Amino acid sequence: MKSKIFATLLSAIVFANLPVNAIDELTDMRDDGKEAEVKKVLYGQLSDKQVFSLNNYASDAATSGASVDVITREDIKGQNTPFVSTLLNQLGSVTYGQGSGGMGQPSKLIMRGSDRVMFTVDGVRIDTITGTARTTNLSNFLLSDDYERIEVVRGSQGTIAGHTASGGMVAMQTRRGSGRLKTEAESLFGSYGYFKERFAVMGGNEKYDHYTAATWFKTDDGTWLEDNGRRGDNTFNNLNLVGNYGVRFLDGKAELRDVIRYSRGRKNLGMNIYSYGLQDFDYANTQDLTNALTWTHNVNKYYDYDIKASVYNSNYDMHYNPGFQYDAWNGLNIDRSHSRTNQNGTRFDVGTQHNINVTDWNRLSVGYNFEVENFRLQSAGLSDWGAWFGMVPESNYERAHTLQHDVFVQDSINIKDKLFIRGGARMMSNSKYGTWVTPNASAALVLPTFKIDGAKTTFRGSWGMNVNTPTLYQRFGDGGTYVLANQDLDPERVNSWDAGINQSLFHDKLSIDFGYFNSSYKDFINYNGGWPGAYVNIGRVKMQGYEGRLTWKPTDKVKVIFNYTYTDAEDKDNHRQVDLVSNNRINGTIVWSPVERFQAYIGVEGGTERTVANGAYKLPGYIDVNLGTLVRLFSWKDAHFYLQGDMYNLLNQKIACGYYGNGSRVFRPGINFRLGLFVKYALPEKTKEKV
């Protein structure tokens, strides 16, 4: 099988040198060259050197004072990976997929040792309301095909972003149509039952744009349990529907945009060993719905504003041991009832931000945000002990909600394009936890490097305070006997700062970045373990470390990025490392496009050992190497046909990704692959008839 995979990839490279029909000049392998001008209108001329989510308007990433990574559409296509998780795992100080039982299972994203990371899609917070922590389950947002940009900002960024960005934030933006009407179709298959079908239609001009896509994929997952090497029924089946529609008014100065996403997934829980070993008949259904309606208006060069209303609904429905037969100690067969837990959460959000250009060098932002969260939990069924003794089914019902009002102000100052200062504060008033004020500040100093032409040195630093309120799940438990309620939880408080230096050489072809970060948490919320357990506040947690990055772009055909991160995340009360945090982590990518019709990448990510279960067990260190390629096979009129493929875990390592109740480790699959066909078709342009 491995030889066939390598032969297929080799054939793809050979195909790249065969003659094909002539096509238009492309800005990249999958884009119509005429899209470039339209994209300037749609995206405010955002480039890979700019960031939007930090201020809610386009600004220079290098002079923001914060540590920022931007993944553009070109980066996503260049790596040709189907998963956001792969893209995130190749960034410095970022790890996704820890503590997971496989694809479709809730996983943590850890940034600088903290999983208190804010996720947004088109400005909508998607940290799960029903979740065990203020972190995001990306299972239903995992596919990268429909994203235009992914921005990663490290450190406490609560002034504009809000109270859930205590450890950093990841902002993902859905693709928008542009240019003449186009369609995309994709079909892939792979190892461990991987199967994917996708279709999209898009287009736009200076007045409107549209993007609609549907994707269905499934996988048998391939994770396996250490004790017996068995792969349970861990199938993940997922459907994603995406729509992004924009209309512009007032000669392009105003825009109304609506972005809607619906995802539905089913995850079989064959790795569940909390009771009676592997049980392939347990499963969970998940649904996520987001909708964001935004009005933006650039009134004049002195003033612009936006108004946004959004909703996020998340539903988790777990079915446990349906129709299970148990042979009790006394030999009695008991038909166990179908146990079920349903968690449903809805978040409504309305906000506005107004930006005033006081002078050419001073930009003031003020805003307001209102948020309401609703949580409902229902569970019914027999506990294990109840089933043994023939007790009647238990049922539990919980309902809760919170309200929050936020106001914020932020000022950005540019002094002669050398010194950049940004500062502000956010006041949050929560119906449960009272009123808090969280300040934030950053600065960057840009200087020409002494006696070196085409080089510059940038000193940066940022500081922020934030408050992370408990989730409704943490307060009310699961409604049963596994997680007990604790309504006495206090909010977490964090004080975070970082400082760094960036050295750019050869007109940005070579860039070296090094920095130090430090975050101190008080009243850190943690699960205390045991059965039954509860979420509790622990006194102090400190996370600090170093991060370095090298970026080399010698030509427009090669891009090399390498990251190293050292993280010391210590629970000061118990003097132990925080779970799932590697002390040492490396990652990086090489993207290579030797000719216009062929591109390939190789990615590396790995880390040293991590603890789990409050330090009770350890997961070994690992290194993961993956490879991807995209080849344009041929073109026929306005249709272009591509072969695409990728391979993961090329070293065939035993990479532990999680554990279960008795300390047994769960491992990712060995070497695996995806291979398929991508087709893009653009409708012919209309030509005016001669009179």
Q: pLDDT tens digit string along 228-274?
A: 666 767 889 999 999 999 999 998 899 999 999 999 999 887 765 44
DSSP β-ladder status, 483-484 and 533-555: parallel
How would residue 596 be classed by pLDDT, with cut points 50, 70 and 90? confident
How would residue 687 be classed by pLDDT, with cut points 50, 70 and 90? low
Residue 619: C-alpha distances to residues 115, 395, 576, 654, 658 (Å): 18, 37, 15, 11, 8
Q: What is the mean pLDDT of residues 33-41?
A: 40
Q: Give me the pLDDT at residue 379, please.
A: 73
Percent of the chain with pLDDT over 70: 81
Question: Any residues with CB less than 8 A from the CB of 274 and at least 6 apart, and which?
Answer: 660, 661
* Cα distance between residue 337 and residue 119, in whole Å: 38
Q: What is the mean pLDDT of residues 43-52?
A: 71
More confident residue, 109 or 203: 203
DSSP β-ladder status, 665-667 and 224-225: antiparallel
Query: 689 exposed, middle or buried (CB, 10 Å; 0-12, 13-18, 19+)?
Result: exposed
Q: What length does the chain have?
A: 691
Q: Which token pair is 202?
A: 């898009």
CB–CB of 206/178 below 8 Å?
Answer: no
Structure-token match 């342009």, residue found: 685
Exposed e or buried b for every residue in 162-179, given b needs 16+ CB within 10 A? bbbbbbbbbbbbbbbbbb
Q: Give me the pLDDT at residue 79, please.
A: 79
pLDDT exceeds cutoff 60 at 421: yes
Residue 491: C-alpha distances to residues 118, 524, 529 (Å): 16, 8, 20
pTM: 0.87
* Cα distance between residue 307 and residue 334, in whole Å: 58
Give the dihedral sign, CA 460/157/150/610: positive
Percent of the chain with pLDDT over 90: 46
Q: Give me the pLDDT at residue 22, please.
A: 29
Exposed e or buried b for every residue in 626-657, given b needs 16+ CB within 10 A? bbbbbbbbebeebebbbbbbbbbbbeebebbb
pLDDT exceeds cutoff 50 at 391: no
State how far Cα 24 lies from the chain centre. Answer: 34
Query: 181 exposed, middle or buried (CB, 10 Å; 0-12, 13-18, 19+)?
Result: middle
**Nearest C-alpha neighbor of 407 from the set 156, 76, 131, 158:** 158
How would residue 429 be classed by pLDDT, with cut points 50, 70 and 90? very high
Question: Any residues with CB less than 8 A from the CB of 103 and at least 6 apart, and which?
Answer: 139, 142, 219, 221, 223, 234, 236
**Nearest C-alpha neighbor of 244 from the set 162, 191, 172:** 172
Q: Which token pair is 486?
A: 């604790």
Q: Give me the pLDDT at residue 85, please.
A: 86
How would residue 171 be classed by pLDDT, with cut points 50, 70 and 90? very high
Which domains, from first to last, does the chain contain? 2-682 (2.40.170.20)
How would residue 538 be classed by pLDDT, with cut points 50, 70 and 90? confident
Q: Which token pair is 247?
A: 């209309």
Average pLDDT, the chain: 82
More confident residue, 507 or 2: 507
* Cα distance between residue 556 and residue 558, in whole Å: 6
* Cα distance between residue 369 and residue 404, in whole Å: 8
Q: What is the mean pLDDT of residues 631-639?
A: 91
Q: Which token pair is 281?
A: 């008949």
- Residue 83 per-residue DSSP state: B
Give the end-to-end CA distance of the chain in Å, rounded to a whole number: 62
Give the dihedral sign, CA 9/14/18/22: positive
* Cα distance between residue 223 and residue 666, in whole Å: 7
CB–CB of 571/539 below 8 Å?
Answer: no
CB–CB of 637/150 below 8 Å?
Answer: no
Question: Any residues with CB less than 8 A from the CB of 143 and at least 6 apart, and which?
Answer: 82, 83, 84, 215, 217, 240
CA angle, residues 75, 76, 79, in degrees to nearest 5: 80
**Nearest C-alpha neighbor of 408 from the set 123, 160, 58:** 160
Q: Which token pair is 637?
A: 């009129």
CB–CB of 657/98 below 8 Å?
Answer: yes
pLDDT exceeds cutoff 80 at 479: no
* Cα distance between residue 608 and residue 582, in whole Å: 5
Residue 280: C-alpha distances to residues 319, 408, 415 (Å): 11, 50, 63
**Nearest C-alpha neighbor of 165 from the set 87, 265, 66:** 66
Q: Give me the pLDDT at residue 309, please.
A: 97
Q: What is the mean pLDDT of residues 460-487?
A: 80
